[in-house]
Amino acid sequence: MKRLLIIAVRTIALTYAALVLLVAGCQNSLLYHPTRDTEAGVLARAGGFVEPWRDANGHIIGWRKPNPRATARLVVFHGNAGYALHRTFYLNAFQSLDGGAKWEVFLFEYPGYGARPGSVGKDSFTAAGKSAVEELLAADTRPLFILGESVGSGIACAVADTLPQRIAGIALVVPFARMQEVAQAKFPWLPTSLILRDKYDNITALARHPGPVAIVIAEEDEIVGAAQGRRLFDNYPGKKLLIPLPDTGHNSLPTHPSAEWFQRISDFLLSGAR
The pLDDT tens digits of the residues spanning 56-110 come to 999 999 999 999 999 999 999 999 999 999 999 999 999 999 999 999 999 999 9
Dihedral sign, Cα of residue 51, residue 55, residue 61, residue 64 = negative
- pLDDT reading at 1 higher than 80: no
126, 152 contact by CB (below 8 A): no
Pairing of strands 51-54, 81-82: unpaired
Bridge partners (DSSP) of residue 51 are 64
Annotation: CATH topology of 35-272: Rossmann fold (3.40.50)
Whole-structure pTM value: 0.92
pLDDT digits (tens, 9 = 90+) for 217-271: 999 999 999 999 999 999 999 999 999 999 999 999 999 999 999 999 999 999 9
Which helix (H) or strand (E) segment holds residue 72: the answer is: strand 72-77
Contacts of 16 (CB under 8 A, 6+ apart): none
DSSP-H helix ranges across the chain? 2-25, 27-31, 39-46, 88-96, 122-139, 151-162, 179-186, 192-195, 202-205, 226-235, 260-272
214, 265 contact by CB (below 8 A): yes
| pLDDT for the residue numbered 48 | 87
- Nearest partner of 152 among 99, 227, 202, judged by Cα: 202
Q: Where are the domains of the chain?
A: 1-31, 35-272
What is the distance between the alpha carbons of residues 91 and 33, in angstroms, rounded to a whole number? 22
pLDDT digits (tens, 9 = 90+) for 175-194: 999 999 998 888 786 776 77
| pLDDT for the residue numbered 18 | 52
- pLDDT reading at 166 higher than 90: yes
What is the distance between the alpha carbons of residues 171 and 149, in angstroms, rounded to a whole number? 9
